[in-house]
């Protein structure tokens, strides 16, 4: 079985476990007044689980692939024998950066941690124009913070905890 089908099998397994949790365990703790609502907190996870399972099964069964007469691998297929050519180091650094971002979001605040995440992430991906990258990351972070804080009304700590906001 090809690497993309193995990944699809893992993805379908994850979606089935996620779907089980969404369909059978999330709704038991709802208060009685919320049980009459047409949309529950588990509605979006249920939709994600079903759609993820469908997409994973499409890849797993090979429905999306066109029938080719020759057996030569195309440029779009993943060749598991040449995994070293796929820049796995960059992917692992980005995953580590995402974990670090999640851990630093509360202590460092949204503005500092998100701007740093965007700048370091784009540096890992190869961008070197810091005079453009830093202002764009700062503006995008400030815009998202403004939308979440002021427009949606969801408190999002903008600065580190020691600044007292």
Q: For residue 3, which of 69, 67, 125, 88 has the smallest C-alpha distance? A: 88
Question: What tokens were used for 30?
Answer: 């709802």
Going residue by residue through the chain, which has 165 residues, state the pLDDT in tens, using 9 for 90 and above: 677 888 889 999 999 999 998 888 877 777 777 777 777 777 888 999 999 999 999 988 887 766 655 566 566 666 667 767 777 888 899 999 999 999 998 888 899 999 999 999 999 998 889 999 999 999 999 999 999 888 878 787 787 766 665
Residue carrying structure tokens 């503005």: 111
Residue carrying structure tokens 């979006």: 44
95-134 exposure pattern, b = at least 16 Cβ within 10 A, e = fewer? eebeeebeebbeebbbbbbbbbbbbbbbeeeeeeeeeeee
Note the pLDDT of residue 55.
Answer: 92
Note the pLDDT of residue 152.
Answer: 79
Note the pLDDT of residue 38.
Answer: 78
Note the pLDDT of residue 133.
Answer: 93
Question: What tokens were used for 109?
Answer: 């605040």
User: CA–CA separation, 155 vs 148, rounded Å?
Assistant: 8
- Angle at 24 (CA atoms; ends 60, 35), nearest 5 degrees: 130
Q: What is the pTM of this model?
A: 0.57
């Amino acid at each position: 079985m090809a690497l993309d089908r193995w990944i699809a099998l893992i993805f379908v397994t994850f979606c089935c476990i996620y779907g089980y949790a969404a369909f059978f365990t999330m709704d038991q703790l709802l208060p009685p007044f919320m049980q009459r609502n047409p949309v529950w907190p588990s509605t979006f996870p249920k939709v994600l689980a079903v759609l993820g399972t469908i997409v994973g099964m499409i890849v797993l069964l090979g429905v999306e692939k066109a029938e080719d007469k020759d057996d030569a691998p195309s440029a779009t297929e993943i060749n598991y024998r040449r995994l070293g050519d796929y820049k796995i180091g960059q992917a692992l650094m980005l995953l580590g950066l995402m974990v670090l971002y999640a851990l630093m979001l509360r202590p460092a605040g949204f503005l500092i941690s998100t701007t740093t995440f965007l700048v370091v992430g784009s540096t890992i991906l190869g961008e070197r124009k810091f005079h453009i990258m830093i202002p764009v990351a700062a503006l995008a972070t400030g815009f998202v913070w403004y939308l979440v804080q002021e427009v949606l009304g969801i408190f999002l700590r903008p600065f580190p905890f020691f600044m007292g906001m």
